[in-house]
A and B are shown apart, each in its own frame.
Chain A
Amino acid sequence: MILDSKIPAGSLAEKWTKHKFNMKLVNPANKRKYEVIVVGTGLAGASAAASLAELGYNVKAFCFQDSPRRAHSIAAQGGINAAKNYQNDGDSVFRLFYDTIKGGDYRSREANVYRLAEVSVSIIDQCVAQGVPFAREYGGLLANRSFGGAQVSRTFYARGQTGQQLLLGAYSALSRQVANGKVKLYPRTEMMDLVTVEGKARGIVTRNLITGAIESHSAHAVLLCTGGYGNVFFLSTNAMGSNVTAAWRAHKKGAFFANPCYTQIHPTCIPVSGDHQSKLTLMSESLRNDGRVWVPKTIELAQKLRKREILPRDIKDEDRDYYLERRYPSFGNLVPRDVASRNAKYVCDEGRGVNETGEAVFLDFRDAISRDGEDLISAKYGNLFDMYQQITGENPYQTPMKIYPAVHYTMGGLWVDYHLMTSVPGLYALGEANFSDHGANRLGASALMQGLADGYFVIPYTIGNYLAGMPYDKLPVDHEAFRSAEKAVKDKIQKLLGIKGKKTIDDFHKRLGKIMWEYCGMARNAEGLQKAIGLIQELKKEFWKDVKVLGDNEELNLSLEKAHRVADFIELGELMVRDALHRNESCGGHFRDEYQTEEGEALRDDENFAYVAAWEHKGNDVPEELNKEILEFENVKLTQRSYK
């Protein structure tokens, strides 16, 4: 099937403006007759819920944490992009659009990306009006920094806590609407299934995480703003609770899942320290503005480092290999993430890794500190340096940080059209949960931008176009569709609790993570991927025979919560591997060993793979069906990405 992305006609720069005019509107007095469910209260969900409530819609907002303020967006450190051109350094909407398309290795939709760049400027205005304390210059105007994949300075930031400040801004707008009675909040509530009637999304079934109650919620439209699925790898920089359950269950109810194999491996994370590791900590990419990445030139020196016979400072400059600066003289340490990650892997594979496990490279601030002084570096990155020291016990002002790539972000997600609607009418996906804007690789500081663009400035317009055609009556929650969905959820819970097997849930999750990291991680090949499919299928069988889920449904039960999530991750894992296997090219975060240039860069196949792969669920244990959305490029020329 060829998918219709509903991209409006007209020139790139006019599409969104014209489209806003052409879409149907809901009269202000009628908005209160519609109810919208927003699952997730991260940047995408909180901004959408608040903005829709301000317009007059009735909103129910759900999250699994104890408060909407704790959504994983809170952890974003580095910043948010916007084409403000406050620095007068040549930025523009078109340049942000261009950088994003190129950074995504030409696997995203031009029209969406252009709209993203266009609304980016309003996001900053909105956040400042809410009282978000962005970094400022002495003259009182907003400060910017530069980020990977761009040669202009367009990233707005709030020290190393940009995500926190933006989320608290959106949370405050949400809280105001809760106070106004327009949003009803459901914290510690997990979406367990999507309810559809005649193919349209009509509500959800949830589990109250404290009482175990299974409940139905009816609405005219459902928005999934449930974040990314990086935790399929077990170890990632995502929060512990981040999961794919809501999206996956919607997928099984008809929403296509697009480009699941596009995973972003972030180059600057604190390396794994042992088997007990529960998550990985990101060191913001902004550090690459001032830190220099290197390993020793020789394996011998690296071995001495690993055995702690010498210290990093004992290695003379001429014995250091600043490999990013050497290989990419024009972007240097600021090459995009996929390029930086892969190069770290290469030098470690060569045996030049610098920690005990051999899987780490240096990120060194020595030169920046001697150039700018410790005070200035501390003002920029103080909290990151403190965090690093807290975790590793080493002081990065005195000795270089050790970093290694880790799973960080998932570009894939539910397929959506230009309206952010999935293939299920009335079901929308926003933020990291959709696949829309980042192609095969996301540029730094663009996820926050996308989440807020979707929530503040896109969905408030596009949802009206759908709701205008909907009757006011809501489906009653005792409708057969809700009843049967509730029963299916309860049965699944009883099944999980009834297995009473021998292996813990984490045991399965860790094994899945190892398979995914080894065969579907930074570099992939057909043979490994084939093997992974078999391994995951076996793991799935074993899970349903031998997993141990303790306790009951009618209580706070962390094992049961996790069991659901891991069961869904296992199924998703198989789809990711199949997607990676079918894509016989390398692009962005998807690197296939078989497809590389002589210099070891990703080799795209535009003739055969310039499409979005949107997978359709056909039933349990039946292979998913591939649908294609052909990507048309009218405004940029597809070139081999080069950051040399």
Chain B
Amino acid sequence: MNLTLKVWRQKNNADKGSFNNYTLTGISEDMSFLEMLDVLNEELSEKNEDPVHFDHDCREGICGMCSLYINGKPHGPQQTTTCQLHMRSFKDGDTIVIEPWRASAFPVVKDLVVDRGAFDRIIQAGGYVSVNTGGVPDANEIPIPKRIADEAFDAATCIGCGACVAACKNASAMLFTSAKISQLAMLPQGQVERKERAEQMVAQMDAEGFGACTNTGACSAECPKGISLTNIARMNREYFSAVASSENV
């Protein structure tokens, strides 16, 4: 198939950036979206033009490195990651608009590459159980009902891609943050630090400049891992009960 691409080009963070148009011919529908961009980049390189920079690594939908806002949707038309999107989702003659994640907490590095370091800092604020290596109890000492383990697992599958932020008109990071808070709040191992965790992670999320949540649900609808909105509800409960009983108030 033949395509027109409208791609955001921006030399670096200081640059203003603008769209560039490219045409591609002979794209196979078995290609992944990123393989289509590989073809573009090979063509650009042959013409001595700087290739389009985009983040990617595993190309299996699990590392969370790929991003791209495609035709107004994070990760494109399907509820999957950009690397798992295939060209059979498009048709001959389509124009595809490709932009980076847009959020002030995710500054653009170059072209379609953004800095998602804010997510790491949210986890550093409390997204862990404080156990050192060694000296822990036997793994089967605390049975965990399968239903709870499964639910914790569902929350734990977040890949940290940032699509939830990109999808949200307020650029809120509630879905990402709540997924980790929920996972650990549900498991017995996470109980001891439950309160501090919720307080500190939420505080960090605010400090990074992510917006407030107005419950539009766009995040979950676009999340490639289908992280559920119930996590946000659970985080709110955790947070308010933590704050209510906190000695820090």
Taking Cβ atoms with an 8 Å cutoff, the residues of A that contact B are 47, 50-51, 54, 65-70, 72, 74-75, 84, 86, 122, 124-131, 133-142, 158-159, 161, 163-165, 168, 171-173, 175-176, 178-179, 185, 187, 210, 239-241, 273-274, 276-279, 281-282, 387, 390-391, 393, 456-457, 460, 504, 506, 548, 550-551, 555-556, 558-559
Closest CB of chain B to A101's CB: distance in Å?
A: 25
24 A-B residue pairings within 8 Å (CB atoms): A66-B65, A67-B119, A75-B58, A125-B138, A126-B133, A128-B139, A130-B129, A131-B189, A133-B150, A133-B183, A136-B144, A136-B146, A140-B143, A142-B140, A173-B128, A175-B123, A175-B127, A178-B124, A239-B58, A279-B59, A387-B60, A548-B45, A556-B113, A558-B51
Check A555/B11 contact, CB under 8 A, given A50-B133, A133-B183, A140-B145: yes
* Residues of B close to A68: CB separation below 8 A: 120
B38 & A179 in contact (Cβ 8 Å cutoff): no
Check A210/B109 contact, CB under 8 A, given A125-B139, A133-B153, A457-B133: yes
The one of A65, A134, A175 that contacts B149, using a Cβ cutoff of 8 Å? A134
Check A556/B109 contact, CB under 8 A, given A51-B133, A136-B149: yes
Taking Cβ atoms with an 8 Å cutoff, the residues of B that contact A are 11-12, 28, 30-32, 34-35, 38-39, 42, 45-46, 48-51, 53, 55-65, 80, 84, 86, 88, 109-110, 113, 115-117, 119-120, 123-134, 136-140, 142-146, 149-150, 152-153, 156-157, 159-160, 183-184, 187, 189-190
Q: How far is the CA of A134 from the CA of B143 in the complex (A)?
A: 12
* Residues of B close to A138: CB separation below 8 A: 146
* Residues of B close to A278: CB separation below 8 A: 32, 34-35, 38, 59
Closest CB of chain B to A151's CB: distance in Å?
A: 22
Q: Which residue of B lies closest to A241 (CB)?
A: B57
Q: How far is the CA of A506 from the CA of B60 in the complex (A)?
A: 20
A556 & B187 in contact (Cβ 8 Å cutoff): no
Instruction: Supply 19 further A-B pairs (C-beta < 8 A) apart from A129-B129, A276-B30.
Output: A66-B117, A67-B116, A70-B64, A131-B184, A131-B187, A133-B156, A133-B183, A134-B149, A159-B153, A161-B157, A163-B62, A176-B124, A176-B130, A274-B30, A276-B35, A390-B80, A504-B46, A551-B50, A558-B51
Closest CB of chain B to A425's CB: distance in Å?
A: 25
Q: How far is the CA of A68 from the CA of B46 in the complex (A)?
A: 33
Check A555/B133 contact, CB under 8 A, given A68-B120, A278-B38: no
Q: A-B pairs with the 5 shortest C-beta distances?
A: A140-B143, A172-B128, A129-B136, A133-B153, A128-B139
A65 & B50 in contact (Cβ 8 Å cutoff): no
Q: How far is the CA of A168 from the CA of B159 in the complex (A)?
A: 9
* Residues of A close to B12: CB separation below 8 A: 555-556
Q: How far is the CA of A163 from the CA of B63 in the complex (A)?
A: 10
The one of A47, A70, A130, A133 that contacts B152, using a Cβ cutoff of 8 Å? A133
A165 & B156 in contact (Cβ 8 Å cutoff): yes
B140 & A86 in contact (Cβ 8 Å cutoff): yes
* Residues of A close to B183: CB separation below 8 A: 131, 133
Q: Which residue of A lies closest to B155 (CB)?
A: A133
A141 & B143 in contact (Cβ 8 Å cutoff): yes
Q: How far is the CA of A165 from the CA of B179 in the complex (A)?
A: 13
B146 & A137 in contact (Cβ 8 Å cutoff): yes
A54 & B31 in contact (Cβ 8 Å cutoff): no
Q: Which residue of A lies closest to B161 (CB)?
A: A70
* Residues of B close to A133: CB separation below 8 A: 149-150, 152-153, 156, 183, 187
Q: Which of B58, B59, B65, B153 has the most CB of A within 10 A?
A: B58
Check A130/B46 contact, CB under 8 A, given A70-B57, A175-B120, A278-B34: no
Q: How far is the CA of A216 from the CA of B86 in the complex (A)?
A: 42
Closest CB of chain B to A602's CB: distance in Å?
A: 30
A550 & B139 in contact (Cβ 8 Å cutoff): no
Check A84/B133 contact, CB under 8 A, given A131-B184, A278-B34, A551-B50: no
Closest CB of chain B to A277's CB: distance in Å?
A: 7
* Residues of A close to B46: CB separation below 8 A: 504
A559 & B146 in contact (Cβ 8 Å cutoff): no
The one of A124, A159, A506 that contacts B42, using a Cβ cutoff of 8 Å? A506
* Residues of B close to A550: CB separation below 8 A: 45, 48-51
Q: Which residue of B lies closest to A211 (CB)?
A: B12
Q: How far is the CA of A277 from the CA of B36 in the complex (A)?
A: 10
* Residues of A close to B140: CB separation below 8 A: 84, 86, 141-142
* Residues of B close to A274: CB separation below 8 A: 28, 30-31
Q: How far is the CA of A68 from the CA of B45 in the complex (A)?
A: 30
Closest CB of chain A to B113's CB: distance in Å?
A: 6
Q: How far is the CA of A256 from the CA of B61 in the complex (A)?
A: 35
Q: Which residue of A lies closest to B111 (CB)?
A: A556
Check A456/B57 contact, CB under 8 A, given A69-B160, A75-B62, A140-B143: no
Q: How far is the CA of A133 from the CA of B38 in the complex (A)?
A: 36
Q: Which of B80, B109, B153 has the most CB of A within 10 A?
A: B153
A129 & B86 in contact (Cβ 8 Å cutoff): no
Q: How far is the CA of A371 from the CA of B156 in the complex (A)?
A: 31
Q: How far is the CA of A68 from the CA of B127 in the complex (A)?
A: 14
Q: Which residue of B lies closest to A48 (CB)?
A: B133
Q: How far is the CA of A281 from the CA of B53 in the complex (A)?
A: 23
The one of B31, B65, B128 that contacts A130, using a Cβ cutoff of 8 Å? B128
* Residues of A close to B146: CB separation below 8 A: 136-138, 140
* Residues of A close to B56: CB separation below 8 A: 240
Q: Which of A126, A127, A128, A159 has the most CB of B within 10 A?
A: A128
B133 & A173 in contact (Cβ 8 Å cutoff): yes
Q: Which residue of B lies closest to A64 (CB)?
A: B57
The one of B39, B86, B125 that contacts A391, using a Cβ cutoff of 8 Å? B86
Closest CB of chain A to B87's CB: distance in Å?
A: 10
The one of B53, B124, B136, B156 that contacts A168, using a Cβ cutoff of 8 Å? B156
Q: How far is the CA of A67 from the CA of B119 in the complex (A)?
A: 9
A158 & B139 in contact (Cβ 8 Å cutoff): no
Q: How far is the CA of A281 from the CA of B84 in the complex (A)?
A: 11
Q: Which of A131, A163, A555, A558 has the most CB of B within 10 A?
A: A131
Closest CB of chain A to B56's CB: distance in Å?
A: 6
A142 & B63 in contact (Cβ 8 Å cutoff): no
A391 & B84 in contact (Cβ 8 Å cutoff): yes
* Residues of A close to B190: CB separation below 8 A: 131
Q: Which of B34, B88, B117, B132 has the most CB of A within 10 A?
A: B132
B133 & A456 in contact (Cβ 8 Å cutoff): yes
Check A140/B144 contact, CB under 8 A, given A133-B156, A273-B30, A555-B11: yes
Q: How far is the CA of A221 from the CA of B51 in the complex (A)?
A: 38
* Residues of B close to A279: CB separation below 8 A: 59
B48 & A555 in contact (Cβ 8 Å cutoff): no
Closest CB of chain B to A423's CB: distance in Å?
A: 28
Q: How far is the CA of A164 from the CA of B127 in the complex (A)?
A: 15
Q: Which of A72, A139, A164, A178 has the most CB of B within 10 A?
A: A164
Check A75/B63 contact, CB under 8 A, given A187-B117, A276-B31: yes
A172 & B136 in contact (Cβ 8 Å cutoff): no
Q: How far is the CA of A555 from the CA of B15 in the complex (A)?
A: 13
A67 & B39 in contact (Cβ 8 Å cutoff): no
Q: Which of A66, A165, A210, A239 has the most CB of B within 10 A?
A: A66
A67 & B160 in contact (Cβ 8 Å cutoff): yes
Q: How far is the CA of A65 from the CA of B133 in the complex (A)?
A: 25
Closest CB of chain A to B58's CB: distance in Å?
A: 4
* Residues of B close to A69: CB separation below 8 A: 64, 120, 123, 160
* Residues of A close to B123: CB separation below 8 A: 69, 171-172, 175
Q: How far is the CA of A68 from the CA of B120 in the complex (A)?
A: 9
* Residues of B close to A241: CB separation below 8 A: 57
Closest CB of chain A to B41's CB: distance in Å?
A: 8
Q: Which residue of A lies closest to B80 (CB)?
A: A390
Q: How far is the CA of A641 from the CA of B172 in the complex (A)?
A: 57
* Residues of A close to B59: CB separation below 8 A: 239-240, 278-279, 281
